[in-house]
A and B are shown apart, each in its own frame.
Chain A
Amino acid sequence: RKEVEQDPGPFNVPEGATVAFNCTYSNSASQSFFWYRQDCRKEPKLLMSVYSSGNEDGRFTAQLNRASQYISLLIRDSKLSDSATYLCVVGTGGFKTIFGAGTRLFVKA
C-alpha cells in the first residue's frame, strides 16, 4: 500500500462544476497535510495547508479526517484555469513529506 494514495484521474468537468478529490494516508502519526497544484511542465505550488478544523480559501475547501486518515479538496465553480494536477502531501514529522501521485483535473468550456 502506498503511503499516500489519491483518486485516480483524470477528472473531466465542465466550467462551473463542483469537483472533489480525496486522499488517504497510511501513517497515523502524520502531522501535517497539504494540497499542492502543479501545472504542466511547472513546479508544484502550495495551494493550501489542511488543518484539523478544515479550512476554506475562496472556492477551495480542504478537510482532514484523522480517524479515517483521509483529506479532501473541494473546488466549487470550477474555472478553466483550475485545470492542473493536484498533489496531496503528508508530513510525517521532521520536515519529511510524502507526495501523492497526483490527480489530473481538466475543466472544459
Chain B
Amino acid sequence: SAVISQKPSRDICQRGTSLTIQCQVDSQVTMMFWYRQQPGQSLTLIATANQGSEATYESGFVIDKFPISRPNLTFSTLTVSNMSPEDSSIYLCSVATSSSNEQFFGPGTRLTVL
C-alpha cells in the first residue's frame, strides 16, 4: 500500500482564518479523496481531488469553503476557509490505487478552531 503523509498533523486556529492541509503520497495514485471525521462520528467524504481539474464535491460541501488542489498524481491540498468552531474536526486524505475501491488513509490533521 502507498505511504501517505499529511501536514500539519494538528493545528489550533482562530475563527475567520484559513488553513491549508497537504497530503503527499510516495507513489502515483489514481484517486485522492478528502474526508472529515468529527468527534465521535464516522467519516464523511468532502470531495474527490481530480488531477488537473476541479475537485468533485459531495452534497453539503462547496469549493469556496473547501478549495482543493491536485497539481499531480502524488500531491493534494485541502484548504478550510473562513473557519468557525464547527470546522473543528479531523481531516483525512485517502488514496485508491486500483478499481477495487480499497482506500488507504493518511494519518489525519486534527484541527481545532477557537
Contacts and interface: CB of A to CB of B under 8 A. Distances in A.
Q: Do A and B associate with each other?
A: yes
Interface of A: 31-32, 34, 42-46, 49, 87, 91, 95-97, 99-102
B42 A42 contact: no
Given A87-B42, A97-B45, A42 B102 contact: no
A102 B42 contact: yes
Interface residues of B, number: 20
B107 interface: yes
A6 to B, nearest CB: 9
Contacts of B105: 43-45
Contacts, number: 42
B56 to A, nearest CB: 10
A39 to B, nearest CB: 12
Given A95-B31, A95-B96, A44 B43 contact: yes
A45 B41 CA distance: 16
A97 B101 contact: yes
Nearest to B30: A95
Interface in B61-101: 92, 96, 100-101
Interface in B18-39: 31, 33
B100 A32 contact: yes
Contacts of B45: 96-97
Contacts of A46: 1, 102-104
A49 B33 CA distance: 19
Contacts of A95: 31, 33, 48, 96, 101
Contacts of A45: 104-105
Contact of B103 (A31, A97, A102): A97
A97 B105 CA distance: 13
A69 to B, nearest CB: 17
Given A32-B100, A34-B101, A95-B48, 10 more contacts: A42-B107, A46-B102, A87-B42, A91-B101, A95-B33, A97-B103, A99-B42, A99-B44, A101-B41, A102-B42
